[in-house]
């Protein structure tokens, strides 16, 4: 299973708005989601919460996006029956946000996302690859840059078909190598990064922007382990 590709009309309209004007979309989503009784069904409401997180992120409102990501995960997690693909979408978007924002729980968020894939009845290898790559970046930022590079290099050595995802992993590796070899203490901050492949703004991982992973690597400095005497 993958991210929903036949989204309801409301979600589709707001997705297109978010791609053109994320601020406007975020405001409209906020109004829709704070109505006393949202007109949409619970799965669509969960989608709108996740889409609001991505719109806020694209608009540069990181603190608001972090707050909204908690609501998005809750809305998807409370669906009955359990909807693991939708929950994975919310978790993937939240983990991506945590990585970009340099949140101290970024590694944990990525771990939770990867664990969620074990509950799927049908594998979702393309989005699982996004989650694994994101986890490697979180490790690179917060635990050990060399180990994060090793994790991503392990992914790169798999015989993936020549898709944009494979190119993104190679780009992420190059960005890590540059960050580690240059000895820079600060990441090259990117104000706007391509949406995470497999989210709602970009639901087709195999056609993702090839620079999405490098943008995550550059968003925060590498955590360089130093030898202690």
Say which CATH topology domain 9-219 has: 1.25.40
pLDDT digits (tens, 9 = 90+) for 9-28: 889 999 999 999 999 999 99
Question: Mean pLDDT by 10-residue block, N- to C-terminus, for the chain (229 residues)?
Answer: 58 94 96 80 95 96 96 97 97 97 97 97 92 97 97 87 83 94 57 86 80 94 77
**Which burial class, exposed, middle or buried, applies to 139 when counting CB atoms under 10 A from its CB (0-12, 13-18, 19+)?**
buried
pLDDT score of 1: 43
Whole-structure pTM value: 0.90
Closest C-alpha to 92, from 64, 61, 119, 132: 132
């Amino acid at each position: 299973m993958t991210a929903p590709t036949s989204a309801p009309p409301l979600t589709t309209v707001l997705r297109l708005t978010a791609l053109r004007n994320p601020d406007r979309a975020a405001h409209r989503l906020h109004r829709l989601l704070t109505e006393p009784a949202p007109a949409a069904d619970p799965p669509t409401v969960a989608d709108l919460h996740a889409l609001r997180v991505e719109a806020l992120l694209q608009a540069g409102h990181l603190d608001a996006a972090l707050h909204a990501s908690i609501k998005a995960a809750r809305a998807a997690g409370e669906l009955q029956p359990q909807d693991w693909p939708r929950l994975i979408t919310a978790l993937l978007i939240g983990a991506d946000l945590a990585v970009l924002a340099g949140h101290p729980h970024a590694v944990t968020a990525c771990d939770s996302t990867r664990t969620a894939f074990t509950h799927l009845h049908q594998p979702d290898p393309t989005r699982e690859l996004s989650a694994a790559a994101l986890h490697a970046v979180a490790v690179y930022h917060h635990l050990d840059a060399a180990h994060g590079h090793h994790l991503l290099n392990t992914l790169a050595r798999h015989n993936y078909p020549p898709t944009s995802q494979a190119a993104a992993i190679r780009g992420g590796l190059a960005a890590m190598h540059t960050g580690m070899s240059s000895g820079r203490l600060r990441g090259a901050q990117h104000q706007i990064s391509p949406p995470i492949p497999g989210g709602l703004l970009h639901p087709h991982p195999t056609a993702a922007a090839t620079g999405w992973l490098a943008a995550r690597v550059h968003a925060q400095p590498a955590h360089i382990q130093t030898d202690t005497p």
